[in-house]
Chain A
């Protein structure tokens, strides 16, 4: 292979520098920098997401107070925490699944697949970037929600970040699976986006009361986050089993989702539709 061979430029002059191999560090820098540039250069999507999130929360809060009165106020803290996790989940899920669709449309997915690094580390780094991005926007939404409702929550930052991140990992897995299905069947992104409304059910699942629901995406994380933000429970105060379930669910859905994506792209290559849109 002569990937990094020396070459001669105009007039037979050698290049000033010899090409050096890129490492995973360079890859991470490139992918994260690209995500950063898109975020700061085109903020309309992020701002639009924040505005829509707050609009729906306003409807939920003021509409709910008119209908349910004190009953809503009593459970407001739980609703805010659940809504915060829902905005995080929707942001991560839709950005990763839509991102894969865009990569197919632009022909860049095929280019990534044939590179020395492959698409897997790029997808993982994109996932990290999406999580960071949605944390920023969801934190803003959370702050405004707390101001609007005049509510106080516990904010043990390390616990919230860790539990939320692990919760979202399962959603990222679903995003990869949805992206893979979209690669195979095309133009079904809008249908797959409907799945995000199912997140409401998962977030409100009684993970501690019905043990098996803890193995659904988001459910265990939601229950732990409620305890952290409403009751002030710190990470080290959670039972080890509860944290283990959270980690297993996060890793399981993330890896499973990526496996679905890989299987779907392989099937798409067999059918010759990988680059079609």
Chain B
């Protein structure tokens, strides 16, 4: 899988916790954020001691399954949900002490929300949100026109948003956020509910605009492909906690060459059982009367695998290493957490 995000030359933060990071040095510093809902036995910890920082101009993905705490984390960062503990600094300003100043250069597209006015036209929405975002819309009309072109909305500019398709509405929502000239953008599940084509277009244009305008973006999604395509770095969350925080490319390389896919007509049930006792078998399937078995091992284990195959006179049809994607990383990390 292509890792467009990891190949760029954008600044990538080290995978260090936020503690000790000088708030003014980063676009965002989250330190020890915790939020519990309810009380007593019914209390649910939605965010548990979350810390990370985001460098200026970088694109960071918050990845996790539904209920991992991504949206609550973003809302805590923006002050829309007040945390029980922890601090957040945006561009060096404390969000809870000086909320107006901290969010002066910030805009957000939040999950499940329309974020804009469907009874206004696309263009009117851009102008309105630019204004309340602190920018005279007349001074950025050229930028708005370009934004509409980039997001393929130019022909719909004078149509009320309510008359547009779901994908178009999502693009308008994104456009209204980008129209504000904010340099720190939060996008919570920006491709949620979009069809494959709309999702691809949105993530491609998003990446282009981010690079063009040197934006700092914090993007949450449970869609690994979106994170992999758009982000430089990923913070993986599970059950309210950060379980990984690293550059996308580095996370992928950590898991590289650990999975091997062997295809052969000579793999019978007995051999499958033997491989199962020696290695972690992650998948077994049948391909054109041959058996394809996928095992996860380290480099030493590879020699052992070859020995087992040789001893059992297995004639190989194919043997490939499986390139890991974020889904593999995520599954392995979360399963390790459970253990």
Q: Which residues of A contact B (CB under 8 A)?
A: 1-5, 7-10, 15-23, 26-27, 29-31, 34, 37-38, 41-42, 106-108, 110-118, 122, 266, 269-272, 274-275
Contacts and interface: CB of A to CB of B under 8 A. Distances in A.
B10 interface: no
A37 B120 contact: yes
B78 interface: yes
Contacts of A34: 117, 120, 124, 128
B157 interface: no
Contacts of B278: none
Interface stretch (B138-146, B193-201, B257-265, B292-300): B138-146
A275 to B, nearest CB: 6
B22 interface: no
Contacts of B182: 3
Given A3-B183, A9-B212, A106-B113, A114 B135 contact: no
B136 to A, nearest CB: 4
B136 A21 contact: yes
B131 to A, nearest CB: 4
The 7 closest A-B pairs by CB, nearest first: A107-B113, A30-B131, A20-B139, A116-B134, A114-B103, A20-B136, A272-B81
A152 to B, nearest CB: 40
Nearest to B106: A114
B94 interface: no
Contacts of A8: 212
A112 B82 contact: no
B228 interface: no
Given A2-B183, A16-B142, A22-B135, A113 B105 contact: no
Given A26-B131, A38-B119, A117-B132, A1 B91 contact: yes
Nearest to A276: B112
Contacts of B139: 17-20
B122 to A, nearest CB: 13
A117 B132 CA distance: 7
Nearest to A270: B82
Contacts of B105: 1-3
Contacts of A31: 132
A270 B115 CA distance: 21
B82 A116 contact: no
B315 interface: no
Q: Which of B106, B117, B127, B132 has the most CB of A within 10 A?
A: B132
Contacts of A7: 143, 212-214
27 contacts: A3-B105, A3-B134, A7-B143, A8-B212, A9-B142, A9-B146, A16-B142, A18-B139, A19-B135, A19-B139, A20-B139, A30-B137, A37-B124, A38-B119, A41-B119, A106-B116, A106-B117, A107-B114, A108-B116, A110-B78, A110-B108, A111-B108, A114-B78, A115-B132, A116-B104, A271-B37, A275-B113
Interface of B: 35, 37, 46, 72, 75, 78-82, 91, 99-100, 103-108, 110, 112-120, 124, 127-143, 146, 181-183, 212-214
A15 B143 contact: yes
Contacts of A42: 119
B108 A114 contact: yes
B131 A110 contact: no
A8 B116 CA distance: 26
A58 to B, nearest CB: 31
A3 B136 contact: no
Contact of B132 (A30, A106, A271, A275): A30
Q: Which of B107, B108, B133, B139 has the most CB of A within 10 A?
A: B139
B48 to A, nearest CB: 15
B135 to A, nearest CB: 5
Contact of A107 (B37, B115, B128, B181): B115
Contacts of A269: 79-82
Q: Which of B110, B113, B214 has the most CB of A within 10 A?
A: B113
